[in-house]
Structure 1
Amino acid sequence: VEGLRPDRWDLGGAAICIVGASVILLAPRGA
């Protein structure tokens, strides 16, 4: 972004977002 390489905090934040979305999408509907 803006010519800067993503650092570990950017990657970590993206990973957390993906994991959170996966949990919500893959969670049993009855839960």
Structure 2
Amino acid sequence: LTQLEMADELSTNKIIVNPSSNKRPQRKQK
């Protein structure tokens, strides 16, 4: 994984675990 890919993964994880979207597991897999 490159730095950019790692950052993208972190951003995606934040979106997934966001309390407001906690019940919507979207973008689980790229």
TM-score (ref. length: structure 1): 0.56
Pick one of 15, 18, 26 that aligns with 2:10: 15
Q: State the AA in 1 paired with 2:6.
A: L
TM-score (ref. length: structure 2): 0.57
Identity of aligned residues (%): 0
- Corresponding residue pairs, total: 21
Pairwise CA RMSD: 1.4
Unaligned 5+ segments in structure 1 are 1-5, 27-31
Structure of higher CA gyration radius: 1
Q: Which has the higher helix share?
A: 1
